[in-house]
Structure 1
Amino acid sequence: MPTHFSHSPIRSFTNSLRSPHGRLLDLRQPQVMGILNVTPDSFYPGSRLGPADEAALLHRAEAMLAAGAAALDVGGYSSRPGADDISPDEEKGRLVPAIAALRREFPEAFISADTFRASVAAEAVAAGADLVNDIGGGTLDAEMFATVARLQVPYCLMHIKGTPQTMRTLAHYDEDIVLTVLRFFRDQLAALRQANGGLAPADVLLDPGFGFAKTPVHNHALLRRLPELAPLGHGLLVGLSRKAMVYKPLGLGPEAALNGTTALHVLALQGGARLLRVHDVAEARQTIALVSAS
């Protein structure tokens, strides 16, 4: 059966994200989102913050904001391949106090809650989160779309197949990877619209999900063909920072992957990315400035 996208005209994403708390993330030009992992097992050891170490969290957040981060993405559940599946209560215990502390110290900061669980998302937004960044794209919690619609909170919808525990074994597709991702986004956006009372949710970002149930060939095809996602009419969040697709071809580890990350960020920006999710804020800001000036 053919896939039709004609109802979503090809256009450049120019919108901003409006938080239910009144804050605004202006994405008319590409911006940087800094990663704050309050987890003990994220794939890049340099990004890990102890859930109980509030001082370290605030220090890193302050440095990211000073370096030019337009948003901070806080996660309490590691989504690296094969990560432990912690309980919702444990995730809340890591994430919600971190968001509350950041909101207290940085009242103007735009804060994203990185979670695929609706109940965690609701508590995070109540604590001050401005955006829900869902690696499951609505597939890992049946209540997520209804929750996002009820809260009227900006939402990032990512493509994934399976879960963080199973995705490594599911990196195979019967059709072209870009067409697969396009169909996934089309269907999930339709479900999100239905949950929103039939009204199109404007404040939605799309994340192709680099590294999530994808081989290196899939990842690089998606990166090369990012402009093909434009007909959906939503801004693109791209998360490439220090991932395996950067360091493995170079025979390195994530700690030595900054230079390679910068190279791929250039390609992502040329492909239309509006928000780069990164560990290294200053370098990403410099990349945006140079690409924008070229």
Structure 2
Amino acid sequence: MTTHDTFDLGGDLRVTRMGFGAMRLPGSRRGGPAGDRGTGLKILRRAVELGVDHIDTAAFYYHQDGPAANEMIRAALSPYPPGLVIATKVGPYRGPDDPFPSGQLPASGLRAEVERNLRELGRDRLDLVYLRPGGLEAPGGETIGERFEVLAALRDEGLIRHLGLSHVSAAQLAEARKIAPVVAVQNRFDVTLPRDAGLLETCERDHIAYAPYFPLGGFGIPDDARVKAIAARHGATVPQVLLAGLLALSPVMLAIPGTGSPGHLEENTAAARLALTGEDLSVLRG
């Protein structure tokens, strides 16, 4: 492993740049069947065997008729191996019968959500907590100071090690950084949908991790002729090119693809070893 394969999250948590997102483990959050708990446990254990040491989760990642991501992470991996970093998100509100988050927790509800993550994961301190304001609409347009101040206070108490932001604008990032350090941003981004160019430049300049959600498109693999052609040249799959392209795009980029398939896990983690050429990258950026 070289320093190019890793990133120092917050300056003191070194993680491999190919991580794992736990959202898909409980099953579809859009009305589909629950995931198989046994398969989920195997995927988590295999991910760690393959060198994954950064797992992204949330207490609201659960299926109404099945397992919860946090519960599976604890069952599969606790006692946790040294160096494993678990990141979680707070902010969205999901009621007991909601198939997906339907609102936002007020500032007064964030402590309980942090404590819920601590309890479910069986940890005394959370490595990284993202505040995620808003839904799937374009980020921005609201102040996040009051809610971020709550998380900053919990960080000062020692319940959180580092703070991040998810689905935010450059203005919201600037607002939060006046309150406490931000070590990671998690916005929507893939190589076929390169949003946030200015915010990504800020992250690069200030050594803030950028860990996009939906790195493989989110609602289906993008049908992109450029990506297909590069995959064919390398004997790789389209998802592998999408992930390798992310890692090659910026040294602060962290990939957190999720899956409920053991085969896709192997495929995704292998993408970290796919060496794209300068021509490939020019095509993707162009």
Shorter-chain-normalised TM-score: which range? 0.5 to 0.7
SS class of match (2:20): strand
The alignment status of 1:31 with 2:17, answered yes or no, reads yes
Normalized against structure 1, the TM-score is what?
0.57
2: CA distance between counterparts of 1:233 and 1:104?
Answer: 30
Which residue identity lines up with residue 240 of structure 1 in the other structure? F
Query: Residue 15 of structure 1 corresponds to which residue in structure 2?
Result: 8
The alignment status of 1:136 with 2:110, answered yes or no, reads no
> 1:60–1:159: structure 2 CA closer, same or farther, 3 Å change rule?
same
Equivalent position to 1:189, from 170, 177, 181: 177
2: CA distance between counterparts of 1:222 and 1:259?
Answer: 26
Equivalent position to 2:154, from 125, 132, 147: 147
Deviations 1:197-223 (A, max 9, x none): xxxx37x11223339xxxx99x42436
The alignment status of 1:73 with 2:56, answered yes or no, reads yes
SS class of match (1:111): strand
- Structure 2: tracts of 5 or more residues without a match: 1-5, 92-109, 135-142, 226-235, 259-263, 279-286
> 1:72–1:228: structure 2 CA closer, same or farther, 3 Å change rule?
closer
SS class of match (1:132): strand
> 1:96–1:25: structure 2 CA closer, same or farther, 3 Å change rule?
same
Query: Residue 49 of structure 1 corresponds to which residue in structure 2?
Result: 35
Which residue identity lines up with residue 285 of structure 1 in the other structure? T
Q: Which has the higher contact order (CA 8 A, sep 6+)?
A: 1
The question of whether the paired residues in 2 share the 8 Å contact of 1:159 and 1:185 is answered with: no
Matching of residues 40-189 of structure 1 within 5 Å? 40-42=27-29, 49=35, 53=37, 55-78=38-61, 94=68, 97-108=71-82, 109-116=84-91, 117-125=110-118, 127-128=122-123, 129-136=126-133, 139=144, 142=147, 143-150=150-157, 151-160=159-168, 181-189=169-177
Matching of residues 166-245 of structure 1 within 5 Å? 181-191=169-179, 193=180, 201=181, 204-210=183-189, 219-222=193-196, 226-227=200-201, 229-244=203-218
The question of whether the paired residues in 1 share the 8 Å contact of 2:188 and 2:214 is answered with: no
Deviations 1:197-251 (A, max 9, x none): xxxx37x11223339xxxx99x424369844542343122123333247635459
Task: Please give the root-mean-square deviation of Cα atoms over the aligned residues, in Å.
Answer: 4.5
- Structure 1: tracts of 5 or more residues without a match: 1-12, 19-23, 87-92, 161-180, 194-200, 252-257
1: CA distance between counterparts of 2:239 and 2:218?
Answer: 10
> 1:187–1:64: structure 2 CA closer, same or farther, 3 Å change rule?
same
The question of whether the paired residues in 1 share the 8 Å contact of 2:57 and 2:89 is answered with: yes
Deviations 1:111-136 (A, max 9, x none): 22343344222332352243224433
The question of whether the paired residues in 1 share the 8 Å contact of 2:186 and 2:212 is answered with: yes
2: CA distance between counterparts of 1:235 and 1:220?
Answer: 16
Query: Residue 6 of structure 1 corresponds to which residue in structure 2?
Result: none
Deviations 1:54-112 (A, max 9, x none): x4432221121122212222334259xxxx9x9xxxxxx94654454245254433322
Equivalent position to 1:278, from 257, 260, 271: 257
Cα drift, residue 276 of structure 1: 0.6
1: CA distance between counterparts of 2:155 and 2:30?
Answer: 28
Give the total of aligned pairs: 223
Deviations 1:129-186 (A, max 9, x none): 43224433994982334324432422331124xxxxxxxxxxxxxxxxxxxx322211
Deviations 1:3-56 (A, max 9, x none): xxxxxxxxxx963458xxxxx7414xx52221223544336969x636xx3x44
The question of whether the paired residues in 2 share the 8 Å contact of 1:237 and 1:275 is answered with: yes
SS class of match (2:196): helix
The question of whether the paired residues in 2 share the 8 Å contact of 1:238 and 1:268 is answered with: no
1: CA distance between counterparts of 2:32 and 2:14?
Answer: 31
Which residue identity lines up with residue 111 of structure 1 in the other structure? I
2: CA distance between counterparts of 1:32 and 1:242?
Answer: 13
> 1:278–1:244: structure 2 CA closer, same or farther, 3 Å change rule?
closer
2: CA distance between counterparts of 1:290 and 1:224?
Answer: 27
